[in-house]
């Protein structure tokens, strides 16, 4: 009997690992549906802020939801039109940029030859291929557009989520047969998620606007497109701002030369440093941070599992997991591992 029990205990990790593999495989196979659901939930979380504000001012719920949906539809329509037009023009100009970058790379051969280093055209182009970065950027934006192509379904899902949001606590009380329960833990968890998502989105929006204005001042082509890219990739701390900066810096180099490229890079660095290292920690607090390793691993994990949208939302998804672990005593150690600090600060000895 003891041997059977030990065998059962020993096989439990294997069963759990196998179940995890099956679940992850299922998530990957249902990628398209889950991406639509994730984007819908993300937009619904943002929409709950003005919705609750209007409800507090005695605006009927149905009317408030209608106003939120109209504003959201108008904003997405204008944004999609402007970014879509910039993306189309970028596609049209891409062949000319490839040729210019090709000539720019080959010009380095004369520089290296003057220093006694002989490099063939083939090896130089194999080592340095900035045109590939532009092609990758175009492919990334195209993949993102494909993932979000069913805007109508996303907006309908957001509409139904917002309509059902106010009745969810009532349903939960009915399921648990506790008509007067208030669920402070659930309320705190949902509030933290909503606060993080809304503030992070606003900060990213500021980053996108500042990036657009800076590139507009410098005269770099397609500033709206690069500002939109900065808005998206600022959801990924540290890594995201670098990825968003590379195509704009290369374009500035092709258009105006090293000086303009350096100014473009300086603008990206300043915007990322001020927003990411000063303003964001001050508003959100250090406790909500993730370690750099966790950010990178979550980027790889969610990107592999859910594609481009998973990569962009990797930090919000991981933050949701971290806050969920913080809400339970037995899983707080997972939140500490995911966090950027060693753990909650303790007062010095002798202090109360």
Predicted TM-score (pTM) above 0.85:
no
Residue 290, SS3?
A: strand
| Angle formed at CA 29 by CA 23 and CA 34, multiple of 5 degrees | 85
> Is 306 exposed, middle or buried (CB count within 10 Å of its CB: 0-12, 13-18, 19+)?
buried
Q: Could you read off the pLDDT of 307-317 as tens digits, one per residue? A: 878 888 888 88
Rounded to whole angstroms, the Cα distance separating 209 from 226 reads 10
Mean pLDDT, the chain, integer? 77
Q: Could you read off the pLDDT of 21-46 as tens digits, one per residue? A: 888 788 778 777 888 888 888 888 88
The pLDDT of residue 166 is: 66
Q: Could you read off the pLDDT of 241-279 as tens digits, one per residue? A: 888 898 899 889 888 888 999 999 999 999 988 988 888
Q: How confident is the model at residue 173 (pLDDT cuts 50, 70, 90)?
A: low
Rounded to whole angstroms, the Cα distance separating 38 from 36 reads 6
Rounded to whole angstroms, the Cα distance separating 270 from 272 reads 6
What's the whole-number mean pLDDT along residues 226-235?
Answer: 90
Residues 6+ apart with CB under 8 A from 311: 236, 299, 302, 303
- φ/ψ region of 37 (left if φ > 0, alpha if ψ in -120 to 50, else beta) reads alpha
Domain range list for the chain: 24-166, 185-284, 285-343
């Amino acid at each position: 009997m003891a041997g059977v029990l030990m065998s059962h205990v020993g096989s439990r990790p294997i069963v759990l690992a196998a179940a995890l593999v099956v679940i992850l495989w299922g998530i990957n196979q249902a990628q398209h549906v889950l991406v639509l659901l994730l984007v819908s939930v993300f937009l619904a979380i943002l929409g709950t802020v003005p919705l609750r504000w209007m409800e507090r001012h005695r605006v009927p719920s149905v009317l408030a939801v209608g106003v939120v949906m109209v504003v959201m539809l108008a904003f997405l329509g204008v944004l999609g039109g402007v970014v879509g037009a910039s993306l189309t023009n970028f596609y049209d100009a891409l062949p000319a940029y490839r040729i210019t970058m090709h000539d720019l790379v080959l010009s380095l051969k004369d520089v290296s030859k003057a220093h006694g280093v002989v490099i063939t055209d083939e090896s130089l182009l194999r080592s340095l291929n900035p045109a590939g970065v532009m092609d990758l950027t175009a492919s990334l934006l195209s993949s993102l557009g494909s993932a979000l192509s069913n805007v109508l379904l996303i907006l309908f899902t957001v509409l139904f989520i917002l309509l059902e949001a106010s009745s969810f606590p009532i349903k939960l009380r009915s399921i648990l047969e506790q008509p007067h329960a208030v669920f402070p833990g659930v309320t705190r968890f949902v509030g933290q998620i909503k606060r993080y998502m809304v503030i992070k989105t606003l900060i990213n929006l500021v980053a996108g606007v500042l990036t657009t204005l800076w590139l507009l001042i410098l005269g770099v082509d397609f500033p709206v497109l690069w500002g939109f890219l900065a808005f998206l990739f600022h959801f990924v701390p540290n890594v995201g701002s670098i990825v968003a900066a590379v195509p704009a810096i290369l374009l500035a180099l092709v258009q105006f030369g090293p000086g303009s490229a350096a100014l473009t890079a300086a603008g990206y660095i300043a915007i990322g440093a001020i927003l990411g290292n000063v303003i964001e920690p001050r508003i959100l607090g250090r406790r909500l941070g993730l370690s750099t390793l966790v950010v990178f691993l979550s980027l790889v994990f969610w990107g592999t599992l859910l594609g481009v949208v998973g990569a962009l939302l990797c930090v919000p998804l991981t933050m949701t997991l971290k806050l969920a672990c913080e809400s339970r005593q037995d899983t707080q150690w997972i939140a500490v591992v995911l966090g950027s600090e060693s753990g909650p600060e303790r007062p010095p000895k002798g202090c109360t």
